Every structure is written in structure tokens, then in C-alpha cells.
Amino acid sequence: MELNKLKEIPKNYIKEILRSIFKLERIKKIKFSGVHFDTAKRELESRIENYKRIESHASRVWKIVELSRNEKRPQTSDYIKGIFEDFIELSGDRKSAEDKSVISGLGRVGEQTVAVIGHNKGKDIKQKVEFNFGMSIPQGYRKANRIMKLADRFGFPVVTFIDTPGAYPAIEAEDAGQAGAISESILTMFSLKVPVIVILIGEGGSGGALALAIGNYVMMLENSTYSVITPEGCAAILWKDSSASKLAALALKMTSRDLLKLGVVDRIIYEPHGGAQNDPNRMVKIVRSYLINALKKYRVGKDRDFSKERAKKFESMGLFTSPQKE
């Protein structure tokens, strides 16, 4: 076995491969007549080639992860400016404070008034610190919850833009009721009588994303991601090794194509060549077109129960088997 072939193998697999190689070499030194090692060698070569294919696929997925985090991608504030007319921002959770990592308010798309809520990452260092890198605290989710209930009262559709690595995980957020605020937001979204349109524009991480993603119609930009945990967090938990992040990203099935196949999202919004960051203005126009069509499809009417439709949609996700009766 030529050891230089191992240069193309991700280091997560090196120990396992080396163990197989050394075992094969030890067996070769034992003088048995009529014993051939061709089969064992072919199996080992096949295993290495399989690892190469896995790494190649993982690298393609990781490029999408990197694109979803690209700082030049249009953010919620860009979509609000380019899509909604007469947007009025509404701030505060009416309990304790204002969380700037969540933008919310009312605006118009054509003749349709809608409530708009989205994560806010910020564009420069000052904004990123001010907006906590898009990681919301309980006050942000309580603000979103307030705006959604306001929209429900007046019959306005709700549009949310998802772009967060996850909810803020610090102790002060937990002390302020992070888990409760997220669960209350999810509960509110399931109970809304108006339609909810969700658009994943960048990262969709964990409960921080899910808190604003319970929609009748969920769209996802081609190079955005959506997962229960970041690849780095998954790798740290499962393998205790940050170098396994690419493999974790592959296993998590977090790309738009994977999630469309799984039925988690309803539509992929394709981006300009190379990614949304290459032509932000065109990307905003594309999303506006998709959003207008979605709002036409989900018009507020007396003959539709949007709350029931949402519940049925999420209940149908995933696979399960019923125990066999004896």
C-alpha cells in the first residue's frame, strides 16, 4: 500500500485506515503457504476510494455552508428596503428591552399589508456587535411574538426572514427565559389564523431559526442552510474533533436540495451565478417575485384554516413506524 495516497484522505479517517494497513502488513509477514492477500488489499483500496468520494461530497456541501455565511449576502434589512413599501419598524417586547438582532414591523407589497419579522446580523463590526451577530435573546423573540399577534388581530399575513447561527446561548439569555421565549414563539406561529410565509436567506440554525420558521409555505435560497445544530457543534459533540465539520455538514442534510427532498421546505429560490453575494440587487428582486406569488397563493380568506394547514404540514414531516400488533 502506497502511503502517499493517504494525502487525499480526510484526517478523520487516517487512524482507521492506518490500523487496517498495519494489520495487513503484519499478516503478510506470516509465512503461510497458499494464502493470498489480494482480496484483503482490494477491500482496503476500495475503502480508501469510498472515503475519497465521501470527502468530495462533503467538500461540496461545505462550500454551501460557507456561502450561507458570506458577509456580502443580502440581509433582512436589504430585503425589507427592496421589497416592502412604507415599512414602519416596531420595536420593543413591552416587557423589558429591545433586541436589535430581530427586525420587525409592518409594510406593503403592492396593495397587501404584511407583518415582517427577520434576523438582523449587521454588515460591519460595529453593527455585528450591536446586533449580537444575529443571535437573538428572549426579548427579540417576545417582540416577534407581539408583532405576530398584532398581525393576527388585523388579518395581515406574516413574512419572516431567517438568518441566524442560533439563539444566543449565554447564561444571561437563559436567565431571561430563552427557552420559554422560543417555545412561546413556536406556539404562537402554530395558532395564527393568517398565512405565514418563511424565507431562509442565509443560516438557519437550531431553535433560534425554528422560532420564526413555522410557516404555511417555507422557501429557501439555493445556498442557504437549515439545521438543528451547526456543523462545528455537531462535530464537537459526536467526534470531539472540529476537523470533522465537513463530514458533519454532509450528515446533517442541511442544504436546500436535501431539505426539499425531505419535505422540510417547499421551494428553492435559485441564486445568481456564484451566489447571492455576487448580485444582491438581483437577488432581492428574485425573492420579491417569489414572495408576491406566495402571497397570492395564500390569500387571507374565510374558507381556509391556515392554522390547521400549518399543523398538518409539520405533522407530516419525518418517517416513523407503528409497533406491530400481536
Give the tens place of pLDDT for each residue, 92-147.
888 888 888 899 999 999 888 999 999 988 888 888 888 888 888 899 999 999 99
Say what the pLDDT of residue 151 is.
94
- Answer yes or no: are the C-beta atoms of 131 and 121 closer than 8 Å: yes
* Predicted structure pTM score: 0.81
- State yes or no: pLDDT of 258 exceeds 70: yes
Task: State the number of CA atoms in the 13 A half-sphere of 305 facing the CB.
Answer: 6
What grid cell was written down for 115?
A: 407583518
**Helix boundaries (H) for 11-137:** 14-29, 38-68, 76-83, 125-130
- State yes or no: pLDDT of 192 exceeds 50: yes
On the 0-12 / 13-18 / 19+ scale of CB atoms within 10 A, 321 is exposed
Give the three-state DSSP class for 244: helix
DSSP assigned state of 238: H
Q: Is beta strand 225-227 parallel, antiparallel or unpaired with respect to 196-205?
A: parallel
Residues 6+ apart with CB under 8 A from 305: 193
> Domain 76-223+271-315 has what CATH class?
alpha beta
Q: Within 10 Å of residue 283's Cβ, how many Cβ atoms?
A: 24
How many Å apart are CA 296 and CA 110, to the nearest integer? 11
Q: What's at 231, amino acid-wise?
A: P
Give the three-state DSSP class for 316: coil
Map grid coordinates 432581492 to a residue: 284
End-to-end CA distance of the chain: 54
- Please provide the average confidence, as pLDDT, over all residues in the chain: 84
Map grid coordinates 422557501 to a residue: 219
Segment 224-236, tens digit of pLDDT:
999 998 888 888 8
